[in-house]
Structure 1
């Protein structure tokens, strides 16, 4: 299975020996942590500011991740509520890099809430692409 060619990964990381469980595979908590980070990147951008994870609605381990796999996380906001954002993350592992061996290893659905300076939920701004991207400050 090839990586999605029409999308850029939100995050890529190399699985290292220090990330293994007792069986020698990559620890599931390591994968969950990086999945949450990937989801938070797109949630932060869409909310234009601070967000917090409030729920992991679904997390599926499909295949193990091994040492030296290059793990790619593809995250996308799939739903926007008043203060919340639902993000889907699909995770792939490139194995034996250079041989184009790639497998989907996990998928997840996470929910984030946008927070204001007072640490209380705030409305997610309307999606106006002209206000998003690099160099723009989060809302006050």
Structure 2
């Protein structure tokens, strides 16, 4: 596994006890929802408007997330199509007690740009940074 995150820091939060499963670890659905929020933010910025998640592929959980971890999500666009944006999303934690920094989850998310009526629309041309 990589030692450093790939992409741009998009979200940072701390999971709380209410976010845990019956085993005491943070619920996987909470992790995926945070990743989807980060990916959606990146997609909306690139599309300059509304987007919808159409696929989550190759989602891999490497380690549990613990209450109190500093949970960070990194987004990196890897491909764009006429209406779609595919990105690699990584979730990393910094352990509260040990300070250890490690990737806990990664996956590939695809979004499409949508109009106000909910139908797909072409992506606008990229603008220089």
Change (3 A) 1:8 1:53: closer
Residues matched between the structures, number: 128
Quote the residue 2:72 is aligned against. 72
- What aligned pairs does 1:31-50 form with structure 2 within 5 A after superposition? 31-50=31-50
Cα distance in 1 for partners of 2:32, 2:7 equals 21
The CA deviation at 1:17 is 0.4
- Quick check: 2:8–2:75 contact (8 Å CA) kept in 1? no
Number of the residue aligned with 2:122: 123
Unaligned runs of 5+ in 2: none
CA RMSD of the aligned region, Å? 1.8
Equivalence for 1:87:
87
Distance 1:11 1:80 in 2: 22
Distance 1:71 1:55 in 2: 23
- SS of aligned partner of 1:9: strand
Using the TM superposition, give the Cα deviation of residue 116 of structure 1 relative to its aligned residue in structure 2, in angstroms. 1.1
Q: Is the 8 A contact 1:69 1:96 kept in 2?
A: yes
Cα distance in structure 2, aligned partners of 1:27 and 1:47: 30
Residue of structure 1 in register with 2:59 after alignment:
59
1:63 CA drift (Å):
0.4
| 3-state SS, counterpart of residue 38 of structure 2 | helix
Shift of 1:82: 0.4
Larger Rg: 1
In 1, Cα distance between the equivalents of 2:77 and 2:99? 28
Cα displacement (A) at 1:129: 2.9
Gaps of 5+ in 1: 131-140
Contact 2:7 2:75 survives alignment (8 Å): no
Off by >6 Å, runs of 4+ in structure 1? none
